[in-house]
Structure 1
Amino acid sequence: MSFYELYDFLRDLQKNNSKEWMDENRKRYHQVRDWYIEWLNEMDMKLGKVDENYYPTSGKKAINRINNNLMFHPEKPVYKDHFGAGLDKAPNTGDFYIHLGTSESFIAGGFYRPSSKLLSSIREAIDYNGDDFKKIINKKSFKNMFGGLMQDDMLKMAPKGFSQTHKHIELLRHKSFAVSCAVTQKEVQNNNFQDGVVEIYKEMLPFRRYLNKAVTV
């Protein structure tokens, strides 16, 4: 089993997105899923060796359900077109998320559309020592890997309690504090993909540590 089979399964699922097709291919799905869980277990061990504060996360806990939530989004297909998994996922901390899909694959981390309470804590941290945060996200290697913060649904004006002339207003207007690094299917299928994930994790680590400290202190 390999990522070739994983992507092949997802492509077939995308073409035949129905419970009937899944029922006929349930064994194949579980073979792919079980293999990916074992790969995540290996990844979990590798990441634990590069970060003393890493939160152990088994593959079974890391992997997301492939079913879409049709109760709240009835317009969506029955199944997702990707496998998603979150490692190093301690409660109330930022994500380290691996997304492998037919339309896109990427590795992301941080807080994507956090609750108002968490968002408030992050903004307070930036108000207090935003210069430290800027040093992290403006580092050349960080910008080369991630480009910058996700520009997701930003406020047009200053958030409540902050001045429009605040020195870090461009950061404070964000509703998400997350970054993402795109990976190709060719890169995923390479034998060195785990090493690449480790490098992305290490580059993202100061960013995630800053945010995690902001929401826990």
Structure 2
Amino acid sequence: MSFKKMFQFLRELDKNNHKEWMDEHRQEYHEVRDFYIQWLNELDIKLAAIDPGYSPTTGKQAINRINNNLLFHPNKPVYKDHFGAGLDKEKGKGDFYIHIGINESFVTGGLYRPKKEMLDSIRAAIDYNGEEFKKILNKRSFKESFGGLMEEEKLKTAPKGFSKDHKHIDLLRNKTFAVMHSLTQKEILEDDFQQKLIHIYKEMLPFRNYLNKAVSV
């Protein structure tokens, strides 16, 4: 089994996105899923070895369901066009999410549209020591890997309790604090793909540590 088989399965599923087809190909689905779980188990061990603060997350704990939640999104297809998994999972903190699909693949981390209490904590951390955060964001290798914060909805003015002239107002107006690194199918199929993800994890780690510290204080 391989990522090549995973892509083949996802392409066929995309063309036959209904329960009847999935039932007929259930064994193939489980073979692909089991391969990915085992691959995630291996990555989990390697990440734990390089990060003392890592929260061990087995492949079964990491992998997301392939079914879309039709209760909240009734217009979506029955099945997703990707396999998603979140490693380094710990309640109240952002994980290291891997998204492998036929239409897009990427790695992301941080906090996507956090709830008000967490958002307030992040803004308080930036107010107290935004220079450290900017140093992380402006590091050359970080910018080469992620560009910058994900472009999401921002406040049009300063958050409540902050001056519009605050020296870190460009960061304080954000509602999402996450970064993303896009992956090509070619990269995923290469033998050193796991090592590439480890490199991305290391590059993202100071960013995630800053946010996790902010929301855990």
TM-score by length of 2: 0.99
**After superposition, what is the alpha-carbon deviation per residue over 1:131-184, rounded to whole angstroms, capped at 9, x for unaligned?**
000000000000000000001111111111111111111101111000000110
CA distance in 1, matches of 2:57, 2:111: 18
**After superposition, what is the alpha-carbon deviation per residue over 1:24-80, rounded to whole angstroms, capped at 9, x for unaligned?**
111110000011000000000010111011100000000001111100110111111
Amino acid at match of 2:25: N
Partner of residue 182, structure 1: 182
Amino acid at match of 2:80: K
CA distance in 1, matches of 2:110, 2:3: 26
CA distance in 2, matches of 1:117, 1:186: 40
CA distance in 2, matches of 1:162, 1:153: 18
Give SS of 2:52's match.
coil
Q: How many residues align?
A: 217
Partner of residue 98, structure 2: 98
Shift of 1:119: 0.8
**After superposition, what is the alpha-carbon deviation per residue over 1:177-214, rounded to whole angstroms, capped at 9, x for unaligned?**
00000110110011100100000000000000000000
CA distance in 2, matches of 1:23, 1:36: 20
CA distance in 1, matches of 2:52, 2:26: 38
Shift of 1:94: 1.2
Partner of residue 161, structure 2: 161
Partner of residue 17, structure 2: 17
Partner of residue 202, structure 1: 202
1:73 aligns with 2:80: no
CA distance in 2, matches of 1:158, 1:63: 38
Q: What residue ranges of structure 1 are gaps of 5+ in the alignment?
A: none
Identity of aligned pairs, percent? 66
Amino acid at match of 1:78: V
Amino acid at match of 2:36: Y
Moved over 2 A (4+): none
CA distance in 2, matches of 1:194, 1:94: 21
Equivalent positions of 1:96-135 (< 5 A) are 96-135=96-135
Partner of residue 39, structure 2: 39
TM-score by length of 1: 0.99
1:152 aligns with 2:152: yes
Give SS of 2:89's match.
coil
